[in-house]
Structure 1
Amino acid sequence: MSINNKVVWITGASSGIGKALAIEFSKKNVNLILSSRKKESLELVKGLCKNPSSVKIITLDLEDYNNLQPKVDEAITCFSKVDILVNNGGISQRSLVKDTKISVDKRIMDINYLGTVALTKAILPHFIKNKNGQFVVTTSIVGKIGTPLRSSYAASKHALHGFFDSLRAEHHKDNISVTLVCPGFVKTNVSINALTGNGTPQEKMDTATENGIAPEHFAKLMLKAINSKKEEVYIAGAKEKLGVYVKRFFPKLLSKMIRKLSVT
């Protein structure tokens, strides 16, 4: 597959992985649509892209998932089509199960799962009509392995795997593909913005996140996975990748390993 002349729509494009991916995509012969809640930040990202004239901005809030169809209609109008939707927007969490209000669980599921699903369902008829389309989903290694302090976040990412695996099977005949991208620790503001048990942001960087993969390097690897239409890819450190395979073949061993992780 070549991404030349494709129209790529990226959510969560104002910072972190989405920002780095937008800049990396812009080095190719593509048209870009960038979305998040923050128009000013999106404008800054647009200015960093190689060819800003080929970049459109659509603000949206995934939490407002009942009102995303007009955003899809607007996106299709930008360049007459959309070829690739990168579902990258989302929010993380840092709190123990016992300390997490149910309202926080709901908000994380509303943004990470229902927002992503609603946007996907809204654009799916366009992909079916064109007999072409690719959904790219930024999930997480935690979407494969639940770890302490991330119960709601892990649940939302596990749910995305279930939904998109089903969608892939249903629409293979329509030439629609799904690429699930599972990051490990990436040096972004994800932990700073992560919700605590009462719903307020953590407002500090985790040590593991601080030492994570640079988003610019991550974006290069993610773009390769998108271009080759990988079904599922783990872009992470050796320990995180190892955990996925230990979970698959030695689940009890992984459970013992996970219990030793710090929960403070």
Structure 2
Amino acid sequence: MERVMGGGMLPVVLTSLGVVLLYRILVRLRKGASVQGAVVVITGASSGLGKECARVFHAAGARLVLCGRDAARLQQVVQELTASSANTQKQTHTPCTVVFDLAKTDTVERAAEEILKCYGQVDILINNAGISYRGNILETHISVQRDVMETNYFGPVALTQALLPSMVRRCSGHIVVISSVQGKIAIPYRSAYAASKHATQAYFDCLRAEIERYGIPVTVISPGYIRTNLSVNAVTGDGSKYGVLDRTTATGWDPRDVAREVLKAVRQRSKDVVLAGPLPTAAVYLRTLWPALFFKLMSSRARKEQKPKDE
């Protein structure tokens, strides 16, 4: 047996490892698919990460359909994008806008029809819109848990399922969802938000497996903290606005950098991308490999905070 491993199997193993390593290098180096002319739908496009994604994909030549609740703010984004591309030689397209509230799932079907009327198809759907939460479970009304779930989970699910048949008929398209590291690990005083993102991760993992046969990739992107107003606009246990820019949010990723990573993930048809620092990334692995220690650390964190406040 030792002779076989030493003289016969070892070179084969080393060769196989070399092939795997080369493949991974080539994957990282590849430019990926172009989004020039692709119809890209972005929810929550009037501010934060959604607005930055609009900038990045517009500059890349995509035909945008910007979605949000405020028509005036969406139109302002359109004007900014049009002005930014006025002096560029690269071909760009004036975005369309569709106004609707993702949390009101009974309106999503109509919104999907309007989206499809813009260009007749959807090539890339970026489910970005969402709301955060800060609260103690003991003091949080069940209606708040439902409201967060409506926006962060049922809304993207409803829009995806409304647009998916048109992609399946063409055997073409790409579904993207902006989840969160908290869709992989749960931290104290974020129950509604973490629960909605865990559900999102599970649903789109299932979707990826089910529609792979149609050539439609599904990308789940899980960022850590991003410098947006997400914490300011977060809801609390009684449904009121949190109104505080957390320190962790204020020092988080630049949304422009995250938007560029979203474009990169789309081009490379990545399946699951975590965009976080060393500690959150390590925590994701710790939750799987050493759950007892992870739970102990989270309990300690909860005791130190005692109430939802800046981390």
Q: TM-score, normalised by structure 2?
A: 0.82
Structure 2 Cα separation of the partners of residues 214 and 41 of structure 1: 21
CA distance in 1, matches of 2:136, 2:95: 41
- Following superposition, the deviation at residue 263 of structure 1 comes to 4.2
1:38 to 49, 54, 70: 70
Secondary structure of 1:196's counterpart equals coil
Query: Which of 125, 133, 137 is the matching residue for 1:93?
Result: 133
RMSD over aligned Cα atoms: 1.2
Q: 1:47 offset after TM fit, Å?
A: 2.1
Q: What is the deviation of 1:188?
A: 0.3
Query: SS at the partner of 2:138?
Result: helix
**Superposed displacement of residue 30, structure 1:** 0.9
Alignment of 1:55-74 (within 5 A): 55-74=95-114
Deviation of 1:48 (Å): 2.4
> Partner letter of residue 76 of structure 2?
L
Whether the 8 Å CA contact 2:183–2:197 is kept in 1: the answer is yes
Does the aligned pair in 1 maintain the 2:100–2:107 contact within 8 Å? no
The partner residue of 1:153 within 183, 187, 193 is 193
What CA distance in whole angstroms lies between the structure 2 residues aligned with 1:202 and 1:10? 25
Aligned sequence identity (%): 38
Deviations 1:27-81 (Å, cap 9, x if unpaired)? Answer: 1121001011011111222222244752111111011101211211111111121
Structure 1: unaligned runs, 5 residues or longer: none
Query: How far has the Cα of 1:22 moved from its partner?
Result: 0.6
Aligned to 1:84: 124
Aligned match of 2:51: 19
In structure 2, the residue matched to 1:6 is 38
Aligned position for 1:243 = 283
Aligned to 1:185: 225
State the AA in 1 paired with 2:245. M
- Which structure has the bigger radius of gyration? 2
Query: Could you tell me whether the CA contact under 8 Å between 2:223 and 2:274 is conserved in 1?
Result: yes
Equivalent of 2:180 in 119, 140, 143: 140
Which consecutive unaligned segments of at least 5 residues does structure 2 have? Answer: 1-32, 86-91
Look up the equivalent residue of 1:3 and give its one-letter code.
Answer: V
- Pick the aligned partner of 2:300 from 256, 260, 263: 260
**8 Å contact 2:61–2:93 — kept in the other structure?**
no
